């Protein structure tokens, strides 16, 4: 079929017109025939099956049942009445309920006559009930039997208000198929279709909108999901291969005295096997003549900083400079302090550059950086300023990179004629599925074990009613010389309320832990930075035993002596945030504890989050649960940046399809990197078209 036909503006489709076209564009982003074709149904109303009352499931699905009404009664309720009919078939009974139009319905219902009813079942008082069912006498139903599954399309309030109902979209879709005669050109190779037993493009597109039955629908969904994920993987992998061929990197061919001296005499502890493996992977990249682009994942406290320092020393041994960029001043300062401590006695110069570094202190940093005296620069977005010029930047490390925009990162790459090697670090464990999609063009390393001597943190969930016992536990810990964090939620929307909770909490803690026996620090967003630093400093030095804070401490403070983390209103935090907060303790040799405090009223999702935290300390397992609960967009904060706006596939549910798609994309590109073989022509044409129309989401890592 002529591809250009699918690029026709939607306004020209019969039944649309200028007004509807404008609404479809603003509400659903539908501007062309192709966009309408890619509006896939959310669900389907299955009128091909008849269910038995005895076999119903509590699934919230629409069902169709044949049976008879044996009894009708009116039931008084607080406001008005409801009409209730007992409906039976040979396997059981249920209730049909009406809250409106009761007089007319009562007059027209026929007892002991076969009906076909259709609607959504609720489970109520130990029985199924169907409110306001669609009803048709069986005799009438058989005359006009239309066996088909009806698609239900995404909608918005504005669409409904403008009269663009599901029925209208259905009609437009039928019109589209008539105008295009349903001839859609194939986008995958015959070999793939054969090997995976896939439906043809034409059959798949038809059966996703107008499925003849469940089986064909499932096949159509698989085919289209596979195709979407396959082309994304093709893009990511070919980008990776191309980068390795095209973008030459500096060759760090020697492991020099700095690296060896540090490894032999300055390591604070023996490296774990996972750290050794990661250092080896990085060394292989740096000596390969291609630019390194590696993602380093590791849980809070797994020892990513040591790996970063060793990578920097490799760069310096080979005559280059290195920089580390972090998203916040607290984090940049913490990196600076710990790296400076690790490098003490090595003679390697290291500076910190953030927004609050005074102008007078910046000048020498800029000069030393440009003349090559300064070997390592650590900082925030301040590193991206035009004034910051390196003598020869060979390695850029980016911490928690999903907090930086694409344009910001590319600025760092262009500080040199040849782009530096890139190491991206994150303490937010990314589930495999998401990593394969978001970071499919990066090589991935994982530090999946904690340094020796670290005891796993014990996590418990306690209700507010157990507070006295919890406070007693805190007194016992303080007696042992330990320190404690108590964290309150701070959500932008309810800042005033949260602030009140924090202050109330602080006062009640001050009553239970009175001066002079106990000293308490408090840190929150409304304080001046200097006051905040002063309070943090007191806690770090051990002058205060309790730190009451909002989530400002989620990243930042490292106090090995703090052994208890109490999270108030824990049900209001997301899983990854709970996990990050828990990672603030457990940094010393003592047993550490995390106590999740909540009220008794909890949603089922909150219960799942708390149970997960109590069950496991494994960041990757937590990330998997988080992905299932929140979906990929929220998890990576990618909703705003338009990544992952998949049309039909779902990264959580379609994990297996994603793996299959990646496997075949890798296999094809390995044998035929430029897609020149005759059997890959179809794939090549489709890929070129998608890239031209920017239909594959494009993402610079």
Please determine, for residue 489, whether its predicted confidence score (pLDDT) is greater than 60: yes
Phi/psi at 537 (5° precision) = -60, -45
Contact predicate 237/666, CB 8 Å? yes
pLDDT mean over 487-492:
77
Tens digits of per-residue pLDDT, 84-106? Answer: 999 999 999 999 999 888 888 99
CATH class label, 49-146: mainly beta
Tens digits of per-residue pLDDT, 168-186? Answer: 998 999 999 999 887 888 9
Using DSSP bridges, classify how beta strands 127-131 and 92-98 pair: parallel, antiparallel or unpaired. Answer: parallel
Tens digits of per-residue pLDDT, 492-527? Answer: 556 777 778 888 889 999 999 998 999 999 988 778
Calpha distance 565→584 (Å, rounded): 8
Calpha distance 120→117 (Å, rounded): 10
Strand partners, 323: 377, 396
Please determine, for residue 662, whether its predicted confidence score (pLDDT) is greater than 50: yes
Where residue 429 falls among pLDDT bands split at 50, 70, 90?
confident
Q: Is the peptide bond before 516 cis (omega within 30 degrees of 0)?
A: yes
pLDDT at res. 396: 93
Q: Tokens for 613?
A: 């935290």
In the chain, domain spans = 3-44+157-213, 49-146, 224-247+653-692, 257-447, 458-616
Lowest mean pLDDT among 215-229, 442-456, 630-644, 655-669: 630-644
CA 679 from centroid of its chain's CA atoms: 36
Using DSSP bridges, classify how beta strands 483-487 and 562-567 pair: parallel, antiparallel or unpaired. Answer: parallel
Contact predicate 452/270, CB 8 Å? yes
Calpha distance 115→50 (Å, rounded): 12
> How far lies 517's CA from each of 475, 478, 608, in Å?
11, 10, 39
% of the chain at pLDDT higher than 90: 50
Please determine, for residue 700, whether its predicted confidence score (pLDDT) is greater than 50: no
Q: Do the domains spanning 49-146 and 458-616 agree at the CATH topology level?
A: no
Task: Select the more confidently predicted residue: 148 or 35.
Answer: 35
pLDDT at res. 246: 76
Pure H helices in 372-492: 406-413, 432-438, 467-479
Lowest mean pLDDT among 24-28, 329-333, 672-676: 329-333
Max alpha carbon distance in the chain (Å)?
96
Tens digits of per-residue pLDDT, 223-239? Answer: 999 999 999 899 888 88
Lowest mean pLDDT among 383-392, 436-445, 478-487: 436-445
The domain 257-447 is classified under which CATH number: 3.20.20.370, 3.40.50.300, 3.40.50.2300, 3.90.1150.10? 3.40.50.300
Contact predicate 409/439, CB 8 Å? no
Calpha distance 293→239 (Å, rounded): 12
pLDDT at res. 280: 95
Lowest mean pLDDT among 133-142, 321-330, 371-380, 405-414: 405-414
H/E segment holding residue 245: helix 214-246
pLDDT at res. 642: 36
Please determine, for residue 418, whether its predicted confidence score (pLDDT) is greater than 70: yes
- Residues 638, 641, 645, 650, Cα dihedral to 10°: -10
pLDDT at res. 236: 85
pLDDT mean over 36-60:
86
Nearest alpha carbon to residue 84 among 60, 62, 102:
102
Strand partners, 137: 115
Strand partners, 68: 88
The angle subtended at Cα 690 by Cα 640 and Cα 13, nearest 5°, is 90
pLDDT at res. 190: 95
Q: In what order do the strands lie in the sheet with 546-549?
A: 458-463, 593-598, 562-567, 483-487, 546-549, 520-523
pLDDT at res. 267: 87
pLDDT at res. 30: 94
Please determine, for residue 683, whether its predicted confidence score (pLDDT) is greater than 50: yes
3-state DSSP of 584-598: CCCCCCCCCEEEEEE
Lowest mean pLDDT among 137-141, 483-487, 611-615: 137-141
Using DSSP bridges, classify how beta strands 293-298 and 127-131 pair: parallel, antiparallel or unpaired. Answer: unpaired
Tens digits of per-residue pLDDT, 546-597? Answer: 999 887 665 556 788 999 999 999 999 888 889 988 988 888 888 999 999 9
Q: List Cβ neighbours of 224 (8 Å cut-off, separation of 6 or more).
A: 40, 204, 205, 208, 648
Q: State the average pLDDT for the chain.
A: 87
3-state DSSP of 101-119: CHHHHHHHCCCCCCEEEEE
Task: Select the more confidently predicted residue: 692 or 282.
Answer: 282
Where residue 696 falls among pLDDT bands split at 50, 70, 90?
low
Q: Regarding the domain delimited by 458-616, which CATH topology (the fold level of the hierarchy) does it fall under?
A: Rossmann fold (3.40.50)
Nearest alpha carbon to residue 563 among 481, 483, 456, 454:
483
At 520 the three-state DSSP class reads: strand
């Amino acid at each position: 079929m002529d591809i250009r036909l699918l690029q026709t503006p939607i306004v020209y489709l019969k039944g649309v017109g200028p007004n509807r076209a404008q609404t479809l564009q603003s509400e659903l982003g539908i501007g062309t025939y192709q966009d309408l074709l890619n509006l896939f149904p959310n669900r389907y109303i299955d009128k091909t099956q008849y269910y038995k009352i005895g076999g119903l499931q509590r699934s919230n699905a629409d069902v169709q049942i044949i049976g008879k009404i044996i009894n009708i009664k009116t039931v008084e309720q607080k406001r008005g009445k409801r009409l209730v009919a007992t409906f039976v078939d040979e396997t059981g009974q249920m209730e049909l309920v009406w809250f409106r139009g009761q007089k007319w319905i009562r007059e027209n219902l026929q007892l002991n006559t076969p009906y076909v009813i259709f609607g959504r079942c609720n489970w109520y008082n130990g029985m199924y009930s169907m409110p306001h069912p669609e009803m048709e006498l069986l005799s009438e139903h058989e005359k006009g039997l239309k066996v088909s599954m009806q698609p239900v399309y995404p909608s918005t309030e504005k669409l409904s208000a403008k009269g663009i109902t599901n029925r209208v979209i259905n009609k437009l879709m039928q019109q589209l198929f008539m105008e295009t005669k349903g001839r859609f050109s194939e986008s995958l190779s015959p070999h793939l279709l054969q090997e995976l037993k896939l439906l043809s493009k034409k059959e798949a597109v038809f059966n996703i909108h107008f499925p003849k039955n469940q089986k064909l629908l499932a096949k159509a969904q698989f085919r289209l999901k596979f195709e979407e994920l396959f082309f994304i993987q093709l893009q990511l992998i070919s980008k990776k291969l191309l980068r390795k061929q095209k973008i030459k990197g500096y060759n760090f061919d020697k492991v020099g005295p700095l690296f060896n001296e540090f490894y032999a005499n300055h390591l604070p502890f023996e490296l774990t096997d996972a750290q050794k493996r990661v250092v080896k992977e990085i060394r292989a990249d740096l000596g390969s003549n291609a630019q390194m682009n590696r993602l380093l994942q590791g849980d809070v406290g797994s020892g990513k900083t040591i790996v970063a320092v060793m990578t920097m020393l490799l760069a310096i041994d080979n005559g280059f400079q290195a920089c580390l960029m972090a998203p916040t001043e607290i984090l940049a300062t913490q990196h600076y302090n710990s790296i400076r401590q690790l490098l003490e006695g090595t003679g390697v110069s290291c500076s910190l550059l953030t927004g609050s570094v005074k102008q007078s202190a910046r000048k020498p940093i800029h000069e030393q950086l440009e003349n090559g005296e300064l070997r390592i620069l650590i900082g925030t977005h301040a590193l991206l300023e035009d004034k910051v010029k390196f003598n020869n930047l060979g390695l850029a490390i980016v911490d928690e990179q999903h907090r930086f925009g694409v344009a910001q990162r590319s600025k760092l790459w262009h500080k040199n004629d040849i782009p530096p090697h890139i190491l991206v670090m994150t303490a937010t464990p990314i589930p495999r599925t998401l990593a394969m999609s978001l970071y499919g063009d990066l090589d991935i390393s994982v530090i999946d074990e904690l340094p020796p001597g670290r005891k796993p943190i014990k996590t418990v969930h306690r209700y507010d009613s157990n507070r006295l016992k919890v406070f007693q536990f805190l007194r016992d810990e303080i007696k042992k010389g330990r320190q404690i964090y108590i964290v309150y939620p701070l959500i932008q929307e309810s800042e005033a309320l949260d602030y009140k909770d924090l202050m109330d909490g602080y006062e009640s803690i001050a009553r239970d832990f009175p001066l002079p026996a106990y000293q308490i620090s408090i840190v929150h967003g409304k304080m001046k930075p200097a006051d905040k630093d002063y309070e943090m400093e007191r806690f770090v030095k051990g002058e205060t035993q309790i730190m009451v804070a909002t989530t400002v401490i989620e990243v930042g403070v490292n106090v090995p002596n703090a052994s208890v983390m109490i999270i108030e209103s824990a049900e209001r935090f997301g899983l990854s945030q709970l996990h990050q907060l828990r990672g603030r303790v457990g940094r010393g040799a003592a047993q550490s504890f995390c106590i999740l405090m909540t009220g008794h009223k909890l949603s089922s999702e909150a219960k799942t989050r708390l149970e997960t935290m109590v069950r496991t300390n494994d960041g990757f397992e937590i990330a998997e649960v988080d992905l299932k609960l929140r979906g990929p967009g929220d998890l990576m904060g990618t909703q705003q940046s338009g990544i992952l706006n998949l049309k039909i596939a779902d990264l959580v549910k379609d994990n297996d399809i994603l793996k299959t798609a990646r496997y075949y994309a890798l296999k094809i590109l390995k044998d035929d990197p430029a897609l020149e073989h005759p059997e890959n022509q179809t794939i090549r044409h489709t890929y070129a078209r998608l890239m031209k129309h920017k239909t594959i989401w494009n993402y610079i890592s």
